[in-house]
Amino acid sequence: MDNRSEIREFLASRRAKVTPEQAGIGGLHSGHRRVPGLRREEVALLAGVSVEYYARLERGHLGGVSDSVLNALADALRLNEAERQHLSDLARTAGASPRTARRRRTTEEVRPGILAILESLTESPAFVRNGRLDLLAANELGQAMFAPVFATATRPANLARFNFLDPAARTFYPDWNHSANTTVALLRTEAGRDPYNSKLTELVGELTTRSEEFSKRWAAHDVRLHHSGVKHFRHPEVGPLELRFEAMPLPADPGLTMTVYTAERGSPTYDALRLLASWRATVESAG
């Protein structure tokens, strides 16, 4: 088992996205083209390697390739930061065994200290997830905000399953298409980091089989870094929410990320979060 097919499809998909004009070689390589984007020989020229060597790389033989060649290849294909990291991950795990491919042992347990931090965040929804988007822990407000996700009986609740298999996701995410693209890109990024994660492989297989929307996005080989930004939700109890988020990897807990959402004081979303906290408290007391 190896990741040669992943390497081949990723490089071919990135090559198809770059036109000769974008690469600055339009005048030299004009005329009828049978393939979208750049030809292999054009990538080789731009990267400063032989056509035979690049063809070998695109067949999936990235193991042992130097950083300088990877950087030249990334420049030629005009890769963004996330794509460059993905290429590096694919090279790191190329031809490696399951034991040596993993950089560090990942964990699925949330330490008591992290749980305490979560619970101390009383005005901000927050949760801890792993690379396959399982929600492993959430504070009270996080559980309230993501109530539609936690509504499933399956544990741990999973953001990808919710996005593609639960009709409620189309309401919860006002821009469902953007959310779906991000979800798949995050899973594809994780697959590059940890290609021998059997649970991730099982999840991807399930979603590919059950969701055409997932399958077509998975085939695109898009990747993404997801550290900060603004997200929009439509909560069934309090309506529209516009929240800033920070996604912070936990260095002492490889593979885990804490995500915290915040709203500007005095904003409609801030008031909605206070209402959401009251709703959660009412539900808890009734239960």
Predicted local distance difference test score (pLDDT) of residue 96: 63
Cα 114 to Cα 118: distance, rounded to the nearest angstrom? 6
Angle of CA points 5, 8, 13, to nearest 5°: 120
Cα 25 to Cα 44: distance, rounded to the nearest angstrom? 13
Do residues 256 and 130 make contact, with C-beta atoms less than 8 angstroms apart? yes
How high is the mean pLDDT of the chain? 91
Is residue 3 very low, low, confident or very high in pLDDT (cuts 50, 70, 90)?
A: confident
In this structure, are strands 228-235 and 126-129 parallel, antiparallel, or unpaired? unpaired
Is residue 153 very low, low, confident or very high in pLDDT (cuts 50, 70, 90)?
A: confident
DSSP string of 197-225, one letter each residue: -HHHHHHHHHHHHH-HHHHHHHTTT----
Predicted local distance difference test score (pLDDT) of residue 94: 85
Compute φ and ψ for 248, nearest 5 degrees: -120, 110
Q: What is the pTM of this model?
A: 0.90
List, for residues 207-221, the tens digit of each pLDDT value: 999 999 999 999 999
